[in-house]
Structure 1
Amino acid sequence: MHLLNRSGHAPCWRSLLLLPALLLLCLATGAEQASAHNVTAGDAGYIQEIWGVNLIPFAYLGAKHMVTGYDHILFLFGVVFFLYRMKHVAIYVSLFALGHSTTMLAGVYFGWNVNAYVVDAIIGFSVVYKALDNLGAYQRWFGFQPNTKIATLIFGYFHGLGLATKILDYKIADEGLLPNLLAFNVGVELGQILALAVILIVMGFWRRHRHFMRHAYTANVVMMSMGFMLIGYQLTGLALAS
């Protein structure tokens, strides 16, 4: 399902007033670090100091990353926005998890050296892409609908690669590397389930509101704006680092 302002009314201006506040919140969240994939100083120190197999700590770090990764949350929010059946939610989330897991594990294990700013800019673009998809922009502008399942899988690859670029910044001990990475990935997926559960509960109540479709337009515009902001952060960081 896609949204083309089907309510027949202009978006709720009271809701639109929330846009500047939400953008400022995103700005404040990212002011200290331009990327949602950054590992905190404490976690980074811990990763660098331990060696051997540490399944529970790495699983915890993976879950923590997921529930605090606002780029992941925004993209997941967009993916499930118009999914009403749990079967469809499971399919899309599984595709995202498959892509995310594949490149995160392979990127760290094989030491892929990819520019983090470019990858995170693409991740920001994934949020913009999904918001425009929910708004029905592609059908309106180009007359066709891109395959949403393939897009979810491909952007999942980039989300996982974005995390891999940050983990590689910290020298993880080779001893126990693969089990630790698998534990980290399990934690990421558990965190994703937790975040998804919260999103679906909130969406369930929100969809009962009689003005849901009108507010849905505003919500996707806000999400798209946040995606553009994430892109801007990364391109600015890339320019300054050059």
Structure 2
Amino acid sequence: MSEVIRRVLRPLLVAAVTVAVAVAALFAVAAPASAHGILSVVYADLSSGGPGVVHAQLQVEYDLFIVSAADAAKDDPLFRAGMGAFDAGDPGAQIAALQDHRDDVSAYVSDRFRISGTSECTPTLADDITMTQQEGVPYAVLDLDYACPPSENGHEVVSSLFPDDEGFVTDTKTILTYALDLHEGSTVLDAEHPSFSTAQSPLERFWEFFRLGAEHLLTGIDHILFLLALIVGSRRLREVVVAATTFTVAHSVTFILAATGVVAAPPEIVEPTIALSIAVVGAWYLWRLWRRGEVDQDLSRAHGFLRLDRAGWLRVGVVFLFGLVHGLGFASALGIDEPWSWTLLWSLLVFNVGIEAVQIGLIVVVFPLLVLLRRRLPRVGMWASGLLAVVVTVAGLVWFVQRILGVE
């Protein structure tokens, strides 16, 4: 019976790993240089403007807003004036372009960012329009007062700014912070979840950040390949656990510090370094494989803390350094750069838990399969692991060159 099981199990294991490697190769070839789906972030802050009034301050990417609002209003003068001011890099001219076409600005925002109580609220664009920057990108700051009928059940907010069907960006996120209706907090709106109610419970609000964290890791192929490189290069369960825990601690620290505005690093440095980290960790395993010609070295004689040898601890140190950089990438993708608060901190921690849930899931699925294959079919396991490491390394190098050259 055991021989029959082995005969059935062997081709299944080979097929499973072959499919996994093929999928990884397809992702590596098809994924763009910038592996994150968020291409624009809107910042919205809601507060009480007095009885029956909700004050909203929106920060929108200036050039994207000009293109979208002009297209919606069929207003060529707005496009010409706005883009001319953008190309000149003149904040004063950018403000003037928006002020000269206030009706079109107000019409686009009123249609795409709505607030309602018992019925729809009526927005009024404030006199002053200002400019700011987010990560070096010019943003227009728009203040609106929404006249709302009395409501005992909070207010509902719907954001559809810069939708996918406009064709200019993909997957716009609206980072919403609010202090309204005796509640305060933050949430994220996007195409799949465009609405939010201030009457929602804290659990419902935190779920949005958990979902966003999980989605970010699942759609961030660069982070997935880095994790696969950690898994395939681990000789024992304790190695992958220590490496993954180190990565988690490192990226959690920089993620929270960057998202709360304590530290900052330009994406021109962060993104290429993330790509390089993928190549380095993948190549590390290939170098060991070439040098020693084996996959599963015996660590039973290793001594010291956690029984890791010198090579294992050196790898942990490298993973920690790269984890710090990945944390900056997570924060950049989320798009939050707000002053520290307990509410924001809890939201960021929940976002991080979403990332870790997917990370743990990948380890639980992939690592046992590799261990089983290496023990049952050592030679096939070595070649499958090596091929996967080659895919990861090549993908990291390609992305590194693309991001250095600014190729999308």
TM range (shorter): 0.7 to 0.9
1:194 corresponds in structure 2 to 361
1:124 to 270, 275, 288: 275
TM-score, normalisation: structure 1: 0.75
Q: Supply the distance in 2 between the matched residues of 1:25 and 1:87 (Cα, whole angstroms).
A: 28
Name the residue aligned to 1:179.
346
Give the aligned partner of residue 79 of structure 1.
230
Tell me which moved more, 61-70 or 173-182. Answer: 173-182
Structure 1, 105-114 or 48-57: larger mean CA deviation:
48-57
Match of 1:29 among 7, 28, 31: 31
Aligned 8 A contact 1:39 1:166 in 2: yes
Aligned: 1:211 with 2:338:
no
Cα 1:55–1:198 change in 2 (3 A) is same
Aligned residue number for residue 4 of structure 1: none
Change (3 A) 1:28 1:82: closer
Change (3 A) 1:83 1:24: closer
Counterpart position of 1:152: 319
Does 2:375 correspond to 1:228?
A: no
2-structure distance, mates of 1:228, 1:19:
18
SS of structure 1 residue aligned to 2:234: coil
- Residues 7-65 of structure 1 show CA distances to partners (whole Å, capped at 9, x for unaligned) of xxxxxxxx9xx9999656424232xxx32234266796454345414211101111111
State how far apart, in whole Å, the 2-side matches of 1:83 and 1:171 are.
36
Structure with bigger helix share is 1
1:35 alignment partner, SS class:
coil
- The answer to which structure, 1 or 2, has the higher relative contact order (CA under 8 A, 6+ apart) is 1
Give per-residue Cα distances to partners, 1:66-112, cap 9 Å, x unaligned.
Answer: 22221122111111214243222221110000011111111111254
Question: CA, structure 1 residues 49+113, in 2 after alignment: closer, same or farther (shift >3 Å)?
Answer: same
Given residue 99 of structure 1, which amino acid in structure 2 is its aligned partner? A
- Equivalent position SS for 2:175: helix
What SS does the aligned partner of 1:83 have?
coil
- Percent identity, aligned pairs only, is 27
Structure 1 CA distance for aligned equivalents of residues 28 and 206 of structure 2: 32
Aligned length: 217
Do the aligned residues in 1 keep the contact of 2:261 with 2:337 (CA within 8 Å)?
no
Distance 1:59 1:120 in 2: 23
TM-score normalized by structure 2? 0.46
5+ unaligned residues in a row in structure 1: which ranges? Answer: 1-14
Which residue of structure 2 lines up, in the alignment, with residue 10 of structure 1? none
Cα 1:86–1:234 change in 2 (3 A) is same
Contact 1:116 1:166 (C-alpha < 8 Å) held by counterparts: no
The 1-side partners of 2:372 and 2:39 are apart by 34
Conservation of the 8 A alpha-carbon contact between 1:55 and 1:183: yes
**Alpha-carbon distance, 1:229 to partner:** 1.4
How far apart are 1:123 and its partner, in Å?
Answer: 0.9
Cα distance between partner residues in 2 of 1:49 and 1:228: 36
CA pair 147-235 structure 1, distance change in 2 beyond 3 A: same
What code does the residue aligned with 1:39 have? I
> Does structure 1 conserve the Cα–Cα contact (< 8 Å) formed by 2:38 and 2:172?
no
Cα distance in 1, alignment partners of residues 385 and 288 from structure 2: 14
Q: Secondary structure in 2 aligned to 1:48?
A: strand
The answer for the alignment partner of 1:62 in structure 2 is: 213
Which of these two proteins has the greater Rg computed from alpha carbons? 2
The one-letter code of the counterpart of 2:390 is V
Give, in whole Å, the separation in 2 of the partners of 1:87 and 1:206. Answer: 18
CA distance in 2, matches of 1:230, 1:190: 26
Residue 406 of structure 2: SS of its match in structure 1? helix
Q: Which runs of 5+ in 2 are unaligned?
A: 1-16, 41-162, 164-169, 179-184, 187-204, 292-309
CA offsets, 1:136-167, max 9 Å, x none?
Answer: 26996xxx968111001111111111121233
Three-state SS of the structure 2 residue aligned to 1:39 is coil
Cα drift, residue 187 of structure 1: 1.2
CA distance in 1 between counterparts of 2:403 and 2:251 reads: 20
Residues 73-112 of structure 1 aligned to structure 2 (within 5 Å): 73-110=224-261, 112=263
